[in-house]
């Protein structure tokens, strides 16, 4: 397993789910609340699958796989900043799923605003600041 390739695959996944996220906001703006919810469930499922896959790689299959990689690319600070956006965004995904499914509109909107800021940070730091390598 090559750490640079794993980062590249994760970047592609982030871009793909960001397209879903934007589509869900467009559906919401057009008054299609049900479609917004269904797209967000897909966003949640795909994001959670990527997070679980990454954790399995990092914690079970190949612990420490990124240690030398980020040192070699002088990207430890970039990864730290990325995680400062990504970890709270991941936690908020569960809050948003719950509040959306339970129709707690005010909480869902508030969480959605905070999530949007965190997701933009996750996107920018993940796609543009983290180094990747082609095989």
Mean pLDDT of 119-123: 98
Q: What is the pLDDT of residue 133?
A: 85
**pLDDT at 38 exceeding the cut of 90:** yes
Handedness of CA 100, 86, 46, 19 (dihedral sign): positive
Within a domain: residue 113?
Answer: yes
The pLDDT value recorded for residue 56 is 95
How much is the CA Rg of the chain, to the nearest whole Å? 16
Range of the domain at 18: 3-129
CA distances from 135 to 1, 6, 72, 87, 130 (A): 10, 10, 17, 28, 16
Judge whether 118 lies within some domain. yes
Render pLDDT for 62-110 as a digit per residue (tens, 0 to 9).
Answer: 999 999 999 999 999 999 999 999 999 999 999 999 999 999 999 999 9
Count of domains forming the chain: 1
- Asked whether residue 135 carries a pLDDT value surpassing 90, the answer given is no
pLDDT of residue 34: 96
Tell me how far apart the alpha carbons of residues 110 and 3 are, in angstroms, rounded to a whole number.
36
Cα distance between residue 55 and residue 7, in whole Å:
13
Domain presence at residue 134: no
How many whole angstroms separate alpha carbon 42 and alpha carbon 16?
A: 11
Closest CA to 49 of 7, 95, 13, 20: 13
Instruction: Give domain status of residue 72, yes or no.
Output: yes
CB-CB neighbours of 71 under 10 Å: 10
Indicate whether 54 belongs to any domain: yes
**What pLDDT score was predicted for residue 60?**
95
Question: How much is the pLDDT for 66?
Answer: 93
5-22: average pLDDT: 96
- The pLDDT of 34-40, averaged and rounded, is 97
What's the burial of 110, exposed, middle or buried (CB within 10 Å: 0-12/13-18/19+)?
A: middle
Residue 90 inside a domain? The answer is yes
- The model's confidence at residue 134, banded by pLDDT at 50, 70 and 90, is confident
Judge whether 135 lies within some domain: no
């Amino acid at each position: 397993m090559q750490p640079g390739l794993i980062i590249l695959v994760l970047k592609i996944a982030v871009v793909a789910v960001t397209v879903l996220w934007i589509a869900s906001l467009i559906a919401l703006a057009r008054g299609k609340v049900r479609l917004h919810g269904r797209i967000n469930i897909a966003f949640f499922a795909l994001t959670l699958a990527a997070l679980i896959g990454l954790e399995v790689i990092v914690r079970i299959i190949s612990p420490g796989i990124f240690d030398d990689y980020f040192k070699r690319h002088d990207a430890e600070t970039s990864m730290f900043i990325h995680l400062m956006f990504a970890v709270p965004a991941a936690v908020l995904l569960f809050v948003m799923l719950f509040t959306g499914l339970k129709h707690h509109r005010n909480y869902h909107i508030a969480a959605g605003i905070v999530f949007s800021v965190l997701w933009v940070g996750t996107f920018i730091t993940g796609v543009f600041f983290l180094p990747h390598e082609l095989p």
